[in-house]
Every structure is written in structure tokens, then in C-alpha cells.
Copies of this chain bind each other. A is one copy, B any other.
Amino acid sequence: MSAPAATEHSAVAPAPEAVFQALADSTRLRCLALIVTHGELCVCELVHALELSQPKISRHLKLLRETGLVADRRERIWVHYRLADTLPFWTRTTLDAVVAEHADSPPFADDARRLAHMADRPDGRCSN
């Protein structure tokens, strides 16, 4: 084989263009912003916070996973998404910087507020 498999979340660092492409969508960026600030979140929490359809959220999470930005973990009926452990340093720097500068503005602030007020969150997460 000449090039890395590139089928699933490979161990090789993703090309910068691919990372930026993944960040170049408001749905994906809003999901990542919540994950950066709140840690692990399941799909239903993101659907609730962003007020978007479940298939839409799921499709965007799949792209983030294939790009290597997030990892998923199944627990009972829920799938939890978190930042990938193998995230390149510059990628983590970028995420922290953009979130720090926009977390208090729409739509990110509204997403965080809706997540905090969500009832019956999985894993006994409470609104704090």
C-alpha cells in the first residue's frame, strides 16, 4: 500500500486542510464548542442544545469522527462524544482560541444555556 488507509479514524495526523474543512460548518463548530467546554456529551444533549434534527447532528458527528477530531464511546443506549485523544497540538490550540473568543456570543452562548437547562440528561449529569 502506498498511502495510509484513510478509511476510519487513523492514527496519522489529519492534514490541516481537512481539519479546517471540518471546522468550516456552523453545526460542527457548535458541537465542538460544547464538547470543548463541557467534556463528553451524548448525541441527544447536542440535539437538544443546538435545536437541530438528530440525523443532522449525527451526520456531522460522523464527519468529525472520520476527520479525527472526536472519539465516541457507547454506554447503554447512549453514544458519548469527546475530543480525540490524539488531537494535534495546533488543533487543540485552535479550538481553545476560537472557543475562548466566541463562547459568550451567539449562537454558542445560547447552545450552552440550553444544555444547562436540559432536563433528564444521561449519566446523571446535572445543570451546572
A binding-site residues for B, Cβ under 8 Å: 15-18, 20-21, 23-26, 29, 88-90, 93-94, 97-98, 100-102
Interface pair B94/A89, CB less than 8 Å apart: no
A100 nearest CB neighbor, chain B only:
B90
Copies of this chain, tallied across the complex: 2
Q: DSSP class of A's interface residues: helix, strand, loop or mixed? A: helix
CB distance from A85 to the nearest CB of B (A): 18
List chain B residues, Cβ under 8 A from A102: 16, 90
Interface pair B88/A94, CB less than 8 Å apart: no
CB distance from A86 to the nearest CB of B (A): 14
Q: A17-B24, A23-B24, A90-B102 are in contact. List 5 more A-B contacts (CB 8 A).
A: A16-B98, A16-B102, A20-B29, A90-B97, A93-B93
Alpha-carbon distance A102/B100, docked complex (angstroms): 24
